[in-house]
Amino acid sequence: AQSVTQLGSHVSVSEGALVLLRCNYSSSVPPYLFWYVQYPNQGLQLLLKYTSAATLVKGINGFEAEFKKSETSFHLTKPSAHMSDAAEYFCVVSLMEYGNKLVFGAGTILRVKS
């Protein structure tokens, strides 16, 4: 069963526009949730993480995500896109039933138009 689903493999926004990358998870128990960013030919860098302390999580580079249990969602947002935000973004869950290993979504490639 798919544990994490990212809606949209490609998202395109104009510079200065709102960025919204969607992520839904499937778990009976609230998991740990993460967003990672990957620039071309590089490893993954942690953007932010949800660990039940607060539902609105702020990360690096102006990104934030809100955990909504009723919607089983953890969407990533940024008020104003910058050219340097162009990258691939992964929504990731850590589930007890998987021995707390990370399970990755398929990724969303963000394109920022000038």
Partner 1 sequence: DGGITQSPKYLFRKEGQNVTLSCEQNLNHDAMYWYRQDPGQGLRLIYYSQIVNDFQKGDIAEGYSVSREKKESFPLTVTSAQKNPTAFYLCASSGQGLPNYGYTFGSGTRLTVV
Q: Tell me which residues touch partner 1 (CB under 8 A).
A: 9, 32, 34, 36, 41-46, 49, 51, 90, 92, 94, 100-102, 104-107
Residue 104: CB minimum distance to partner 1, A: 4
Residue 89: CB minimum distance to partner 1, A: 11
Which lies closer to partner 1 via its Cβ, residue 28 or residue 114?
A: 28
Which lies closer to partner 1 via its Cβ, residue 17 or residue 103?
A: 103
Which lies closer to partner 1 via its Cβ, residue 43 or residue 56?
A: 43
| 5: enclosing H helix or E strand | strand 4-7
Nearest to 63 by CA among 19, 99, 105: 19
Residue 80: CB minimum distance to partner 1, A: 26
Cβ-count burial 9-37 (b if 16+ within 10 Å, e if not): eebebeeeeebebbbbbebeeebebbbbb
Residue 33: CB minimum distance to partner 1, A: 10
Q: Which residue has the tokens 């995500």?
A: 65
Task: Decide: helix, strand or coil at residue 64.
Answer: strand
